[in-house]
Chain A
Amino acid sequence: MRPRYKRLVDNIFPQLPQDGLVKSNMEKLVFYSLSSPEKLDRIGEYLFQRASRDISRKRNGFVVIAMEAMDQLLVACHAQTLNLFVESFLRMIQKLLESTEPDLQVLATQSFVKFANIEEDTPSYHRRYDFFVSKFSSMCHSNHSNPEVRITIRTAGIRGLEGVIRKTVADDLVENIWEANHMDKILPSLLYNMQDSKYYKDETGSPEVEDKNDPALLADACIRELVSRASFGHVRSVLRPVLRHFDLHGLWVPNSFAVHTFRIIMCSIQSQYSYAVVESLMSHLDENSDSSPKIRTSITHVLSKIIAISAEESVGPSVLEVINSLLGHVRMSASKVSDTEEAQYREALIGCLGEFTAHLPDYQKVEIMVFIMSKIPQGNSRDDSRLQLMLLKSLLTVGKRYTNIAMNTTFPVSLLDPLLRLCLSGGIDTALMVQGILHVLLDRHSNAEKLSRPTLDVADAGLAFEPCSRSDTIFMRKFGEEIYTCLLEILSLNDVTVECIESIYTTLALIAVELLTAHTITAYLTMVYSIQEIALSQNNSLSFPRRYNLHAVVAALLVLVPEIMQIAPLKEYAGKLIGERRSAGAAHLLPELLVTYPGEVTPPAFQIPVNLLVDQAVLGECLQAAGLDTTVMTRSLTHRHSWVESTGVTMRGSVTDLNSTDVESANSTPGLPRKYPEEELSFEAMKRVLADSTEATKEEEKQKREQLFNAFRNTTFKDIVNNNTVRFQVVIFI
């Protein structure tokens, strides 16, 4: 007599397979297996053997019934006893998957998914899913001649993979699904099902509405689930096959699918790891440095589409790493042969940089600007200047996204200094680019457009401005001269262009709008006057038209200042001066700026009648009439020589005799530093230096005192007054 469990199993099968599972007998079997769970493994084994026999005899109806019975047992069983049964259950599924019948394969997958959805307390650690991953992946690529069957099999494959992922991903001790071996199968299979579908191109349609059985949508959901479970270490193992798949299937150009895929990856990945995706894509760009610019451009576009999502999560060094890597690519590209495609690639890189920084907080933007600045080469070779321009362009892109609140945070010394230096060392193109950056950063009230070229109609321009804050005033007093010096120097360059003059006008006008206060106006007007001096100076070799341009800039700025500061006398004076220029037929001394002027209106630039020029004394009177604080005025003026000197314009008394003797300079102890190179750094040496220095300094001080004494004794009183009384100086120069 056969054992009871065998009889119970046999009874669930009907005479004819069409009749289906014998329900009442099935209940008996379930009841039996619940009451004696130790028999479960034998029941499973017996069912499996029966089904195997039926498969080989092609009696598929009975196979389906056996599978159904197993499903029911699986659901009915308690978790503790499940392990006994699962072995034969999975063997059964494998058996069905091995069959060439699509129906059986689909059936097996359904059962597998049911199994995958059961949460096991103690999954069996020796259970292997190798075969399932391989087979389901293979099913995802089904090429069945009947399209409907093909889709059914592919769908089943995707669901199966999803099941494997669900089953393995949560527990470290079961099969490691993140191994390259599995990932290399799973991801290409999923992507393959997504790439040909058009669903991702329809951005508006919500996926819920569409067919639940669409392989593409299933694959999409599956990737999301997989990625959302990935820990940091796994991100790479997910992305490597993805990137490889895109390479092999040529999915970078066009890149709509790549963009879609990376978007869903970015959206589903745990946000703290999102920058790892950016990093991976970035390093993929590194690997592709030899591929066509088109591919690189495409990858960069993908990068810029997703980079924004990660920017919010990026912190500290990873931000600079991303930026550094992007700049590295810019540099690499700058050294390559330049054609339109390469240029597009560079544009894409810079766009990407902009996208990335746009989402960073402002303080980080400043950091990034400083960082980019530090990467700009100072050299003058052709490669260098191309790179300079590219990097400045990047800087401009970042600057555009930045909201300036306080000047001293916007322009840290580490940004301002090199920027100004670059202005002078680079060519006119570089200077122009730097002006663009200054415009973007200075322009807090969107006036740049209105001030893009010199104009006399500022009153109608509708400039927006508000009183300058205290900290900005301090900034201006600290760095104003430095900025002016630099700009004036560019204006006196021989090869300065109209465009460049206009753009410097914009910079100066923006400074006026944003930063002009009672404390800084004197320095500003002095600077304006200096522009006229450059135009008149014979020490530079500016062409006549450029000199006219400068006069026009002076006029335009002179009109602008009282507009902002509301100084009536100055406004009057500016109006009068312009009127005189007009009536004297000197339109070339007023905006618009022209590249060349018609011959008849070009009298030599040095023979302009005095009444058409800005008069320093009158400027000073205007300011005094407005009751401006003269001590501040003088402060800003005493330092004037520093830039007047460098522009090469000689101004009377601006270089003092006393300064040339350098008696007050604290650096004038030449004996001390010279000692260091000869001495080795030992204790004795230090001691010697210290002992020596006191005597040396004493000697030094004595000499200095003598010099100072002599200087005052031998110079005339007038000279001393001239050089040391600042107030007097103001009266003379303003």
Chain B
Amino acid sequence: MEDYKFLFKVVLVGNAGVGKTCLVRRFTQGLFPPGQGATIGVDFMIKTVEIGNEKIKLQIWDTAGQERFRSITQSYYRSAHALILVYDISCQPTFDCLTDWLREIEEYASSKVLRVLVGNKIDRDDREIPTHVGEDFAQRHNMYYLETSAKESDNVERLFMQIAAELMEQARSKELPRYDINSQNINRRTTTIGDSCCSRSS
């Protein structure tokens, strides 16, 4: 009947200009829009992905990073299944703000929300935050970590696919026992996705 098995809401947060909209565009439309303007309020995209013959629909809410839209963006955290916290690896201040963002997430999002830290713009030469610093931070705060480049399309697909897979696993584990048959299969797949550049700490 429905054209998908699972529906997950993914919300992107982070400072203005770190590339949230570009990540979403790259993933949903396969483009990298040069000169993308600042998002106002909240933008919405949909993408259906397939993981192991299961169709998963991702509702992606791309929030504005600007402070003045905080009240509306916060209201979108609440119903999110996954939050992608984005910073710019070539811009220290965007990294410094992460603790503030985490505080916001603590306050407004569900405690069970899946949190992923993303260092974007790895195509740039003027990196300011080394990978291990981001990784450490993610580990400390119990988040997944991934570095991406929306411009070069590095890891973007992987980011969303991984979230979809993880959320599906979570959803399945809560569902009826009949899904237990598949669980082994899913676990195996998750571990393959979560290799090298992806560390889960819990």
Verify that A and B bind, or say they do not: yes
**Which residue in A138, A140, A142, A184 is a CB contact (below 8 Å) of B74?**
A184
Is B179 located at the chain interface by the 8 A CB criterion? no
Residues of A within 8 A of B68 (CB): 248-250
A173-199 vs B, CB cutoff 8 Å, 1 = contact: the mask equals 000000011001100110010000000
Pair B71/A245 contact, Cβ less than 8 Å? yes
What's the least CB distance linking B34 to chain A, in Å?
13
What's the least CB distance linking B63 to chain A, in Å?
10
Is A137 located at the chain interface by the 8 A CB criterion? yes
- Give the interface SS of chain A, mostly helix, strand, loop or mixed: helix
Pair A189/B76 contact, Cβ less than 8 Å? no
Residues of A within 8 A of B46 (CB): 98
Residues of A within 8 A of B74 (CB): 184
How distant is the Cα of A134 from the Cα of B61 in the complex, in angstroms?
9
Q: A134-B61, A138-B44, A249-B68 are in contact. Are A143 and B39 (CB under 8 A)?
A: yes
Residues of A within 8 A of B78 (CB): 181
How distant is the Cα of A134 from the Cα of B64 in the complex, in angstroms?
14
How distant is the Cα of A181 from the Cα of B78 in the complex, in angstroms?
8
Residues of A within 8 A of B1 (CB): 45
What's the least CB distance linking A567 to chain B, in Å?
74
Closest-by-CB residue of B relative to A244 is: B71
Is A20 located at the chain interface by the 8 A CB criterion? no
Pair B3/A188 contact, Cβ less than 8 Å? no
Residues of A within 8 A of B37 (CB): 143
Closest-by-CB residue of A relative to B44 is: A138
Residues of B within 8 A of A45 (CB): 1
Closest-by-CB residue of A relative to B71 is: A244
Pair A181/B69 contact, Cβ less than 8 Å? no
Pair A181/B79 contact, Cβ less than 8 Å? yes
What's the least CB distance linking A486 to chain B, in Å?
55
Residues of A within 8 A of B72 (CB): 137, 141, 184-185, 188-189, 192
How distant is the Cα of A100 from the Cα of B72 in the complex, in angstroms?
21
Pair B70/A137 contact, Cβ less than 8 Å? no
**Which residue in A52, A245, A248 is a CB contact (below 8 Å) of B3?**
A52
Pair A185/B75 contact, Cβ less than 8 Å? yes
What's the least CB distance linking B44 to chain A, in Å?
5
Pair A184/B41 contact, Cβ less than 8 Å? no
Pair B67/A248 contact, Cβ less than 8 Å? yes
Interface size class of B (residues with CB under 8 A): 20 to 34
How distant is the Cα of A399 from the Cα of B107 in the complex, in angstroms?
48
What's the least CB distance linking B86 to chain A, in Å?
18
Residues of A within 8 A of B40 (CB): 141-143, 192
How distant is the Cα of A135 from the Cα of B46 in the complex, in angstroms?
11
Q: Which of A213-253 contact B (CB under 8 A)?
A: 241, 244-245, 248-250
What's the least CB distance linking A164 to chain B, in Å?
14
How distant is the Cα of A143 from the Cα of B43 in the complex, in angstroms?
9
Q: A100-B45, A189-B41 are in contact. Are A138 and B61 (CB under 8 A)?
A: yes
Is B193 located at the chain interface by the 8 A CB criterion? no
Pair A130/B79 contact, Cβ less than 8 Å? yes
Pair B39/A137 contact, Cβ less than 8 Å? no
B50-67 vs A, CB cutoff 8 Å, 1 = contact: the mask equals 000000000101001001
Residues of B within 8 A of A248 (CB): 67-71
How distant is the Cα of A249 from the Cα of B61 in the complex, in angstroms?
21
Closest-by-CB residue of A relative to B45 is: A100
Residues of A within 8 A of B39 (CB): 143
Pair A137/B71 contact, Cβ less than 8 Å? no
Pair A137/B41 contact, Cβ less than 8 Å? yes
**Which residue in A130, A138, A180, A241 is a CB contact (below 8 Å) of B41?**
A138
How distant is the Cα of A250 from the Cα of B69 in the complex, in angstroms?
11
Residues of B within 8 A of A185 (CB): 72, 75-76
Closest-by-CB residue of A relative to B79 is: A130
Is B42 located at the chain interface by the 8 A CB criterion? yes
A106-140 vs B, CB cutoff 8 Å, 1 = contact: the mask equals 00000000000000000000000011001101101
How distant is the Cα of A98 from the Cα of B78 in the complex, in angstroms?
20
What's the least CB distance linking B37 to chain A, in Å?
6
Most B CB within 10 A of own CB, among A188, A192, A250: A188
What's the least CB distance linking A193 to chain B, in Å?
10
Closest-by-CB residue of B relative to A91 is: B2
Q: Which of B1-28 contact A (CB under 8 A)?
A: 1, 3
Residues of A within 8 A of B69 (CB): 141, 188, 248
Residues of A within 8 A of B79 (CB): 130, 134, 181
Q: A45-B1, A138-B61 are in contact. Are A184 and B42 (CB under 8 A)?
A: no
How distant is the Cα of A188 from the Cα of B44 in the complex, in angstroms?
17
How distant is the Cα of A185 from the Cα of B70 in the complex, in angstroms?
11
What's the least CB distance linking B184 to chain A, in Å?
33
A533-563 vs B, CB cutoff 8 Å, 1 = contact: the mask equals 0000000000000000000000000000000
Q: A52-B3, A189-B72, A248-B67 are in contact. Are A135 and B41 (CB under 8 A)?
A: no
What's the least CB distance linking B138 to chain A, in Å?
28
Closest-by-CB residue of A relative to B57 is: A98
**Which residue in A134, A140, A241, A249 is a CB contact (below 8 Å) of B76?**
A134
Q: Which of B63-103 contact A (CB under 8 A)?
A: 64, 67-72, 74-76, 78-79
Residues of B within 8 A of A130 (CB): 79
Pair A184/B61 contact, Cβ less than 8 Å? no
Residues of B within 8 A of A244 (CB): 71
Pair B42/A137 contact, Cβ less than 8 Å? yes
Pair A188/B71 contact, Cβ less than 8 Å? yes
Pair B3/A241 contact, Cβ less than 8 Å? no
Pair B71/A184 contact, Cβ less than 8 Å? yes
How distant is the Cα of A140 from the Cα of B44 in the complex, in angstroms?
12
What's the least CB distance linking B15 to chain A, in Å?
16
Residues of B within 8 A of A241 (CB): 71
Pair B71/A135 contact, Cβ less than 8 Å? no
A92-106 vs B, CB cutoff 8 Å, 1 = contact: the mask equals 000000101000000
Listed from nearest, the 10 A-B pairs whose CB atoms lie closest are A141-B41, A184-B75, A188-B72, A98-B46, A141-B40, A138-B44, A244-B71, A138-B42, A143-B40, A248-B68
27 contacts between A and B (CB under 8 A): A45-B1, A98-B44, A98-B46, A98-B59, A134-B79, A135-B44, A137-B72, A138-B61, A141-B42, A141-B69, A143-B37, A143-B39, A143-B40, A143-B43, A181-B75, A181-B79, A184-B74, A184-B75, A185-B72, A185-B75, A185-B76, A188-B71, A189-B72, A241-B71, A248-B67, A248-B68, A248-B70
B positions within 8 Å CB-CB of A: 1, 3, 29, 37-46, 59, 61, 64, 67-72, 74-76, 78-79
Extra A-B contacts (17), CB below 8 Å, given A134-B42, A189-B72: A98-B44, A130-B79, A134-B79, A137-B42, A137-B72, A141-B69, A141-B72, A142-B40, A143-B37, A181-B79, A184-B74, A185-B75, A188-B41, A188-B69, A188-B72, A244-B71, A248-B68
